[in-house]
Amino acid sequence: MLLIRDILKHHKEEVSMLHEQIEYNVLISKYLDNEISSEEKKQLEFWIIQSKENKAYFREMAKSWEESTIALQDKTIVRNQLIKFFERQN
């Protein structure tokens, strides 16, 4: 019986940790999109300074966000150049 309780307790802790991670992913996304409220920003900043792991995770998310933004901008530039090229052909 103890084993089942231990498993359930462990599962509940994992679910709680996953929920917290999702919450901070949302805050990070809002921050990077400049859509974060001042209260949410304080919450995120506090979370970042709580551990080296949180800080590293935030930096990695910001780096990925920046790289994806650059890639999207590059695609838009290429698309616009192709449109201009085809317009000149007509």
pLDDT tops 60 at residue 1: no
- pLDDT per position as a tens digit, 65-80: 888 877 667 777 767 7
pLDDT, averaged across the chain: 82
Give the closest residue to 61 by CA, choosing from 17, 21, 14, 16: 21
Number of domains in the chain: 1
Q: What is the pLDDT of residue 17?
A: 75
Highest mean pLDDT among 1-5, 20-24, 72-76: 20-24
Residue range 25-33: average pLDDT?
92
- pLDDT per position as a tens digit, 41-58: 999 999 999 999 999 999
Q: Which residues form the domain of 8?
A: 2-89
